[in-house]
Amino acid sequence: MLTLNLSKLNGFIPEDYLVSRQEKLAQAAQMLADHSGPGGDFTGWVRLPQDYDKEEFSRIQRAAAKIQKQSKVLVVIGIGGSYLGARAVIELLCSPHYNLKQKETPDIFFAGNGLSTDALLELIQLIGDRDFSVNIISKSGTTTEPAVAFRIFKAMLEEKYGKEGAKERIYATTDKARGALKGLADTEGYEEFVVPDDVGGRYSVLTAVGLLPIAVAGVDITQLMGGACQAMEELAVGGLDNLAWQYAAARHALYQAGKKVELLACYEPNFRFFAEWWKQLYGESEGKEGKGLFPASVEFTADLHSMGQYIQQGERLMFETVVKFAPKGEFTIPDDPANVDGLNFLSGKPLAFVAEQAMRGTILAHVDGGVPNVLVELPAISASVVGYLIYFFEYVCGLSGYLLEVNPFDQPGVEAYKKNMFALLGKPGYEDMRAELEAKL
């Protein structure tokens, strides 16, 4: 399903970069398999494509069908790991213009992923008087951004449909036992889906967190899980031929050779949000204890006309990982008898041929400019290909975290802003801290 070309790392990292890490990779793979490494309590995602809750999976499909029948709009409320995966997959498989398309499935809007008043007001206007449902997603059930958004959309639903009617349109995805949202969902009688205890937010796209909104968009989630399952089975076989081992070793060697930024590039505009998901996955997993590659992303060829300059000649601190999908269809460049633009040497050629040469030329230019390149090639974008890629990146991330000797499954740094925000908002219990912060501001 996936091929990995690491030949453009030659000369940037020692030749034995993989063999020299073989033992550590084997240990890392073992820790992921038996949940014995740092953060092992959060490695439920490793076997998830096979060991998921089948009863809940069917319920997700039924709930998606109900939402599709009942509503013209689904508002998905969540932030971070409770948001990015669903949006990434919907945009990659259905298009960033999904809501603009003629379709049988509801429009899907994402809320609760920020605190912008303008964005909220705009969303309320976009929903208008259309029928809508809400999927509130929060593992902790206490995150401020989604909690505030849920207050608003819950009140809107209750005003429009009454309390009983609203109950039929609210789906809560949260912890199976704890948290304010769990308590509220139980009390109000919302349909509930579970964020498994052993799966952290950024690894949760293949749980109900991602699957319900993705299914509402009409994506075949069985195919998505099937692709992930194929990756799981292939990557569980350890050794130097394992593509995840190879990529994780290369990333680690590049980091040790002074490349501090990994730039994820793709030539598909649909990939933009997938890169956002990938950035959270790697940024939160590796960026701690003063260590970690900084995950950044670009969309080519568009960004070759903006960030291209820096990549070619700026600080030599990055390497590039290019994700390349085979095109789904074909488009042939038309002839112009007048050849006004001088482009007739391309007449009759597929646009994909031009894209391919752009990619090859760019890789060579960047490598010449001191930017090592990793090329990941995949078949045309489909649910199973995307499922495979999700698992591939998750698994490489787990291995990479262990190579770096950090816990890839915690995120202690995310708490700092939350504490300050609570104190400044006047949350009970934070009074002393508030005075201290106000004095500093």
Active-site residue set: 284, 305, 418
User: Residue type at 36?
Assistant: S
- Cα gap 417→410, rounded to integer Å: 16
Site membership for ligand PA5, residue 91 (CB under 6 A) = no
Q: Which C-beta is closer to ligand PA5: that of 49 or that of 81?
A: 81
User: If we measure between CA atoms, which residue out of 253, 281, 250 comes closest to residue 389?
Assistant: 281
> Hey, which residues between 269 and 288 contact ligand PA5 (CB under 6 A)?
284
The residues with which 346 forms a beta bridge, in sequence order, are none
What residues contact 146, with CB distance under 8 A and at least 6 apart? 77, 78, 79, 82, 111, 112, 113, 136, 137, 138
The residues, ordered by sequence, that sit 6+ positions from 45 with a Cβ below 8 Å of its Cβ are: 198, 199, 200, 203, 204, 206, 394
Q: Which is nearer to ligand PA5, 211 or 385 (CB)?
A: 211
Closer to ligand PA5 by Cβ: residue 80 or 227: 80
411 binds ligand PA5 (CB under 6 A): yes
Closest distance to ligand PA5 from the beta carbon of 81 (Å): 3
Distance CA 258, CA 251 (A): 11
How many Å from the N-terminal Cα to the C-terminal Cα in the chain?
A: 53
Residues 6+ apart with CB under 8 A from 439: none
Q: Does 138 bind ligand PA5 (CB under 6 A)?
A: yes
C-beta of 145: minimal distance to ligand PA5 in Å? 8
> Amino acid identity, residue 255?
Y
Using the rule CB under 6 A, give the single segment among 77-85, 253-261, 338-346, 394-402 that binds ligand PA5: 77-85
Q: Does 144 bind ligand PA5 (CB under 6 A)?
A: no
| In the complex, minimum distance from the CB of residue 20 to ligand PA5, in angstroms, rounded to a whole number | 32
Closest separation between CB of residue 147 and ligand PA5, Å?
8
Binding to ligand PA5 in span 316-355, by CB under 6 A: none
Give the CA count within 13 Å in the CB-facing half-sphere of 293. Answer: 33
Residue 200 sits in the site that holds ligand PA5 (CB under 6 A): yes
- Span near ligand PA5 by CB under 6 A; candidates 53-61, 159-167, 198-206, 304-312: 198-206
Token pair belonging to 334:
């038309």
Rank residues 302 and 425 by Cβ distance to ligand PA5 and give the closer one: 425
